[in-house]
Structure 1
Amino acid sequence: MMHADLIDQEDLLGQLKAMGMQIPGGATAEQACEYAVRGLDTARANELRKMVKDMYTSSATILPAVRQAIDKQLLPALAEYQQNHNA
């Protein structure tokens, strides 16, 4: 559950689902990030970038599993998408 100063796996899944992404129930943070980057398009990439920026610049603590999933799955996929579509 989201607390004022903590971002956990459920918060990440909730934010991704709120963006309209199909994330299976019981997915881990890493699995959710894998699903989030499938079929990236410009709108989804922008939404994901904003979500990550908001998380990383907030005063909330991001639990290690969530930060690792973002760092290993989301950020590299977003960087690759941007590189391939801004060339």
Structure 2
Amino acid sequence: MMIAELIDGDDFRARLVALGIRIPEGACPETCARMALRKHAEVGVLGLQELVRELMQHTDMMLPSVRQAIERYLLPGLR
């Protein structure tokens, strides 16, 4: 039996932090997405569009709260 690792809020936050976005510990996915979008609008975030594209290819492994935050904030904001 294969066990897939879910993309949860902590994983989402860690991936954004790895791109250089400062996000407080314990921030919910919505806060993470809003902060990432704000940083991208202010100075640009290299790799953010690629990360979002990659994550959206794995929606079946993503918690609904993470998917909803990406769809609500990052997808419209990065177009």
Superposition TM-score tier, normalisation by shorter sequence: 0.7 to 0.9
> What number of residue pairs does the alignment pair up?
76
* Contact kept? 1:7, 1:62, Cα under 8 Å: yes
Aligned residue in 2 for 1:48? 48
- Shift in Å at residue 6 of structure 1? 1.3
Consecutive unaligned residues in structure 2, runs of 5 or more: none
State the 1:24 CA deviation: 1.2
User: In 2, Cα distance between the equivalents of 1:59 and 1:27?
Assistant: 20
TM-score normalised according to structure 1 size: 0.74
Q: Structure 1 vs Structure 2: percent identity of aligned residues?
A: 37
Maintained 8 Å contact 2:59/2:67: no
Taking a change above 3 Å as real, the CA distance of residues 20 and 76 of structure 1, as seen in their structure-2 partners, is same
RMSD: 2.2
Report which of the two has the higher share of strand: 1
Give 5+ residue unaligned stretches, structure 1: 80-87
